[in-house]
Amino acid sequence: MATNIEKYLPLTESTAYTLLALVEPLHGYAIMQKVEALSQGTVKLGPGTLYGAFTTLEQEGLITKVAEVDRRKTYALTEKGRQVLKEHIRRVELMAKIGTFTRAW
């Protein structure tokens, strides 16, 4: 499983936040709002960026469409998407632990 998901990492900031937001199934606009809130305003996904992320993540089999209402597709994480996100967080946590000394700077 580990070698299979290697090729999807590292994630860009936009795709990482998109996957994080999709811990619950959401559609595009809701994802944009959630990511802005989660990142405390630092990451505001543009529609062009998000559409590109959807296309890539769906192609890679990390997300899948679960519903479509009023021209808004709702996406959810696939099992592979969960594994990729889990591994991404693990790596980020590791780096964060190593890098706590930078708080003193």
Partner 1 sequence: MTTMTQFRWFWAWDDEKEENWLREMSLKGWHFQSVSLPGFYRFEQGEPKDIVYRLDYLTNTKDKPDYLQLFLDVGWAYKGEMNGWQYFSKEAVDGEAPEIFSDPESKVKKYAYLMLRLGFFLPLYIVIASNPRPGYEFVSLIWTVLLFFFIYAQFRLLMRVKGLRRKL
Considering the rule CB under 8 A, would residue 28 count as an interface residue with partner 1?
A: yes
- The answer to whether residues 22 and 77 touch, using CB atoms and an 8 Å cutoff, is yes
Considering the rule CB under 8 A, would residue 42 count as an interface residue with partner 1?
A: no
The rounded distance, in Å, linking the Cα atoms of 57 and 82 is: 12
Sequence length of the chain is 105
**By CB neighbour count within 10 A (0-12 exposed, 13-18 middle, 19+ buried), where does 48 fall?**
exposed
Binding-site member from 9, 24, 37, 44 for partner 1 (CB under 8 A): 44
Compose the 62-101 pattern: x for residues touching partner 1 by CB under 8 A, - for all others.
------x-xxxx----------------------------
Using the minimum distance from each CB to partner 1, give the nearer residue, 44 or 86.
Answer: 44
Both tokens assigned to 95: 């780096």
In the complex, the residues that contact partner 1 under the rule CB under 8 A are 12-14, 28-29, 32, 43-53, 68, 70-73
